Structure 1
């Protein structure tokens, strides 16, 4: 596995006093139902047992109740630092919290401990606090303030004179690879900086993998690779598959001066790793810097007709070809339509120059639409809205999609409607959306769709939307009620759990600590994950509950973002499906490094059955998604999983 960050002794010690055990039923129950019983929580906080106080801290982090702050800061700092910092960072800003955190900054702290502290400051601090960190510690490398700067960047908080950019750029010379990583990641989230280009060239020859990966990511955001062909070729041939993925993304912006240079880039299409090949096929559509003598058209056609590409690489390359050579689409689609998956064919069809042909194609293909291609179909079809602004047949078909019985079809369709369509069809859409909202507000299967309906209704009629949110605030689905209350500016009141919901909790908790790990068997091989019920007991219990019932058998990896994540757990294959119920988020300070396993969600407390495995470290996920397992072995399998590969079986290990 590629290493990005060093784990210090203090972090390991904190893990030994992890959050939950089987003895913490009442605490976990109160956290899960979000009633945060004061008696339970205060008793835990005041306990002499370090584990109990730590458990309370990570439960309190989910409460949004800053009244707990004064109890938190009275705890023994040495025993609870990481848990304490995380809780304060998640609860949100109070003057007392930020003053306490800033007072604890010290070079005497362990490196990871100090980073946790700085993460917390970055999560709740103001622009004034950002200025304070840069001015006070910007020249002291031991302060490790790039960790805090990243959190400020993620929140969109910047200084007036953008002095954080100067610090981040200069910090790329830091001897600490972790510091360089956080600085590169921060610059990447900002969009890169021209000031960093001289340092980027040096970092591309680094022995540290994260230097190369996130330097390339920065250059991609800048749509530039202003270096030599020799350096480009070196990166294309790099031994690490992740670097080759980033090479595929970034070198599409290289100024190819001859066919030999371009052919070296196109060699990525034949890469042994399917994710490198697919990424290259997708990124080729970005190529613009070509010498006029280079015949890209015929080079790509040769790969499309004679190459030995995977199904996904072939599909992505066909889409890229259609984008680059739009005038060739009518002829090209006849050649390619039997060779590629429908999901890619829909994207190409939307590029056809004949408007009536496009409309007929999409209407004719709807009856045979597979659910896994729903997103591609609808997004491609609705990309044509401007072409058919006044076309009644088009509008009627869109309405049919919203009327469909599938919440997935409904939600995807409504989410892609543009303002012109909403205006032109406002009267009918208002009535339709009200009906959809009323009929489905208490159905967990519509937990993603109903908020989309409501937000779209608000776009049509802001004046009437308050009534809609008042109705949804009484929903028996917690995430829908919470969403509505937030729109109304009201605190979310805890809902008495239904009998079914309470039974589910008991079932999940009962098995949360029964199994040590799980072996995930796929069509590409297997990998084993170590379960972390001490940080996410209900999530682990839910995973075990579903796995024991064969829920994941045959389920595809519907989302694979090379060098980021592989995601599965949705039996519909759309990314919108779930088990028919929701569980609560269980956030912690465990970082989303390579090989860690998290729960996908549509927002806080909307998790169900979808989960993902990290290809590489992504700190913007930290504390914002439930981290419930880590890979013990089989990263090679994970790194070779392609879109629509499948889980065959999951075996639980006691």
Structure 2
């Protein structure tokens, strides 16, 4: 009977969901193509016309597209946003440059509407002035939790841009530490936290700090966001109080984000409470590898701590074969006597590209520069692929910091050979900047050799090698190369011309061609449905992301082509910033500087970058490709600036444990 009931329920759900998928399919295949012609062109007038479209979802997407679209007539946009009065319409103003007169107009609109207009409140938070802050603080705390959060965030955002006076600081702290709304509590404090290390800001006054201490003693929020912020704010001058506040917590089991916040604060402090090494000793035994690695980095930078807990950290990390190589190498870097364990150190991470920085950092503590150089040359000679690239970067770092004693003629010749082999392999120039710049490594005699390489058809046919060679010519021989490069440019194809323009040769006056965006496969998106689930398999567990096709169709269409063709399989998370993001998806280089053979536009939304949100990396508006990231924590400074394409709905504990170099073994639609 139970099985029959379950089948009936499932059948009902499938039928019930079908109209949603059908409507999404209609929008994607019939309405979105025309809308996206305006998006690709960044045509503000056309997009503003779409804001009156018959379909609400199209109107919403048009407003969100305006967030990253330059608008000629800001007053007209404000008029239209005011008339429409939705969260998305107001969000279209977030990144615009408003005059003082226009900001005052928004202030007057707020007086007429109050905190219930959360869209307008969000604009004041992004663009408001000191009067905006006064008006927001005059508002009573809204009874609705979402409204309170939006008001709190606007206040918190503004205090990051505007100096709040002491009375305002105390008022904000009192609101933050009296509300039962944990998200709002954190949001009120956002500006103080965000600017805590800004030397140009006056920071909290002593009376404001005293009020924070007084209220925090008896404030225990449901979520740790405000605790994180307060710990970071107080650790510099009141570290003992912070440790005492958490004395009943087991540091070994502490929340990951809170633990990392405390560790980072210890690292910033020139002087710490006597309890700091005790806390760090506990943190190196934490179950989360990122907590352990962060603690070890702080210990490595503070020799007194390292001496005090050396045996403990060695046993917990460096000499513990049960922990991952990343942690072990960080342990050797923190140890005061790694030379005793050189035989344990040498085999760790030899084949992992992403661990070479830690490996060689530890070896530099044990060996002379000459010994490290010889070992590194041997490693480079026997390596391939991504490992070769990372080892090349280590050589670049070693050479940049080496004294003249290391740079003998014999070693200069070895570095010269390494450099030219790297050029022939198409290694990117930023990996070899110190080698490029050394006039002993690259001499005038090499100019003819580089020109000869450019005349080699195989070099011209390989865009990576071409860029590598011309980058070195630009760096060292720009004046001498003018005639050759000018002639070459006149006869080059589109891709080679664009490459030379991007290198900014002084005698090439052309501009980069406008970006041609990848066209989405609208029918395929309709088949996927509005919210398909993307699965990433890693050795630490699976991560599931529910994506939002109607908000980011161009992004997801591009990613779908990579997912279904297996291009994400075997690609590492190349960037991990604890208490911020993990980032992967560089299907081209694995270094974080590459991407696919297409570009998609920024598809911003009115949503917040909360913990678990999935975004797309970029180097500026409308430069998105294959790289994605997942948020460790709320980071509202990203709002509107980066595409949000979905949210992690299962596997956040895995996201928290990912370290740099962890591989996506397989990627697919659920």
User: Normalization by structure 2: what TM-score?
Assistant: 0.73
**Counterpart check, 1:133 vs 2:148:** no
In the other structure, the counterpart of 1:247 is: 262
Q: How far apart, in 2, do the equivalents of 1:476 and 1:74 lie?
A: 43
Within 5 Å, which residues of 2 pair with 1:339-354? 339-341=348-350, 342-343=355-356, 344-352=358-366, 354=368
- Shift of the 277–446 alpha-carbon distance from structure 1 to 2, 3 Å rule, reads same
> Is the 1:216–1:246 Cα contact (8 Å) retained in structure 2?
yes
The Cα offsets for residues 263-284 of structure 1, whole Å up to 9 and x where unpaired, read as 5532322322333233323332
In the other structure, the counterpart of 2:290 is: 275
In the other structure, the counterpart of 2:431 is: 413
In the other structure, the counterpart of 2:565 is: 549
The Cα offsets for residues 390-438 of structure 1, whole Å up to 9 and x where unpaired, read as 6553487278447625898424425x54997489969789999999999
In the other structure, the counterpart of 2:47 is: 41
The Cα offsets for residues 265-315 of structure 1, whole Å up to 9 and x where unpaired, read as 323223223332333233322435659xx6433343334225743222112
**Counterpart check, 1:643 vs 2:660:** yes
In the other structure, the counterpart of 1:397 is: 415
- Shift of the 522–99 alpha-carbon distance from structure 1 to 2, 3 Å rule, reads same
Identify the match of residue 313 of structure 2 among 293, 300, 312.
Answer: 300
The Cα offsets for residues 490-546 of structure 1, whole Å up to 9 and x where unpaired, read as 99887384xxx6xx4143x44234323223333233232221122211001111111
- Shift of the 78–282 alpha-carbon distance from structure 1 to 2, 3 Å rule, reads farther
In the other structure, the counterpart of 2:11 is: none
- Shift of the 87–257 alpha-carbon distance from structure 1 to 2, 3 Å rule, reads closer
> Is the 1:520–1:527 Cα contact (8 Å) retained in structure 2?
yes
In the other structure, the counterpart of 1:3 is: none
Secondary structure in structure 2 of the residue aligned to 1:528: strand
Identify the match of residue 363 of structure 1 among 377, 382, 389.
Answer: 377
Within 5 Å, which residues of 2 pair with 1:518-533? 518-533=534-549
Secondary structure in structure 2 of the residue aligned to 1:404: helix
In the other structure, the counterpart of 1:6 is: none
With 598-607 and 434-443 compared, the bigger mean Cα shift is at 434-443
**Counterpart check, 1:89 vs 2:94:** yes
In the other structure, the counterpart of 2:622 is: 605
Within 5 Å, which residues of 2 pair with 1:183-194? 183-192=188-197, 193=203
Q: How far apart, in 1, do the equivalents of 2:153 and 2:131 lie?
A: 14
Within 5 Å, which residues of 2 pair with 1:460-471? none
The Cα offsets for residues 586-622 of structure 1, whole Å up to 9 and x where unpaired, read as 2222211111101122333332221111121111211
> Is the 2:284–2:292 Cα contact (8 Å) retained in structure 1?
yes
In the other structure, the counterpart of 1:215 is: 230
- Shift of the 50–580 alpha-carbon distance from structure 1 to 2, 3 Å rule, reads closer
With 300-309 and 311-320 compared, the bigger mean Cα shift is at 300-309
The Cα offsets for residues 442-471 of structure 1, whole Å up to 9 and x where unpaired, read as 999869x89x9599849999xx9xx99xx8
Secondary structure in structure 2 of the residue aligned to 1:23: helix
Q: How far apart, in 2, do the equivalents of 1:329 and 1:352 lie?
A: 7
Over the aligned positions, Cα root-mean-square deviation in angstroms equals 5.0
**Counterpart check, 1:514 vs 2:545:** no
The Cα offsets for residues 72-112 of structure 1, whole Å up to 9 and x where unpaired, read as 23326364432222222234345675454334324634264
- Shift of the 23–247 alpha-carbon distance from structure 1 to 2, 3 Å rule, reads same
- Shift of the 39–231 alpha-carbon distance from structure 1 to 2, 3 Å rule, reads closer
Q: How far apart, in 2, do the equivalents of 1:153 and 1:406 lie?
A: 52
Q: How far apart, in 1, do the equivalents of 2:340 and 2:421 lie?
A: 35
Within 5 Å, which residues of 2 pair with 1:107-146? 108-110=114-116, 112-121=118-127, 130-134=129-133, 137-138=136-137, 140=139
In the other structure, the counterpart of 2:82 is: 77
Secondary structure in structure 1 of the residue aligned to 2:573: coil
**Counterpart check, 1:581 vs 2:598:** yes
Q: Give 1:363 shift.
A: 1.9
- What 5-or-longer segments of structure 2 have no aligned partner? 1-22, 142-147, 198-202
Q: Radius of gyration: which is bigger?
A: 2
Within 5 Å, which residues of 2 pair with 1:32-71? 34-37=40-43, 40-47=46-53, 49-64=55-70, 66-71=71-76
- Shift of the 340–256 alpha-carbon distance from structure 1 to 2, 3 Å rule, reads farther
Q: How far apart, in 1, do the equivalents of 2:244 and 2:578 lie?
A: 25
In the other structure, the counterpart of 2:330 is: 316
Secondary structure in structure 1 of the residue aligned to 2:626: coil
- What 5-or-longer segments of structure 1 have no aligned partner? 1-15, 123-129
Q: Give 1:223 shift.
A: 8.9
- Shift of the 348–547 alpha-carbon distance from structure 1 to 2, 3 Å rule, reads same
Within 5 Å, which residues of 2 pair with 1:373-522? 373=387, 377-384=391-398, 385-388=400-403, 393-394=411-412, 397=415, 400-401=418-419, 404-405=422-423, 409-414=427-432, 417=434, 421=438, 457=475, 495=514, 497=516, 504-507=518-521, 509-515=522-528, 516-517=531-532, 518-522=534-538
With 452-461 and 578-587 compared, the bigger mean Cα shift is at 452-461
- Shift of the 213–561 alpha-carbon distance from structure 1 to 2, 3 Å rule, reads same
Within 5 Å, which residues of 2 pair with 1:618-633? 618-633=635-650
User: Normalization by structure 1: what TM-score?
Assistant: 0.75
With 544-553 and 348-357 compared, the bigger mean Cα shift is at 348-357
Q: Give 1:628 shift.
A: 0.5
The Cα offsets for residues 227-253 of structure 1, whole Å up to 9 and x where unpaired, read as 265445445255523223333433455
Identify the match of residue 560 of structure 1 among 556, 576, 586.
Answer: 576
- Shift of the 444–586 alpha-carbon distance from structure 1 to 2, 3 Å rule, reads farther
Residue-pair matches, total: 603
- Shift of the 47–366 alpha-carbon distance from structure 1 to 2, 3 Å rule, reads same
In the other structure, the counterpart of 2:200 is: none
Q: How far apart, in 1, do the equivalents of 2:477 and 2:117 lie?
A: 48
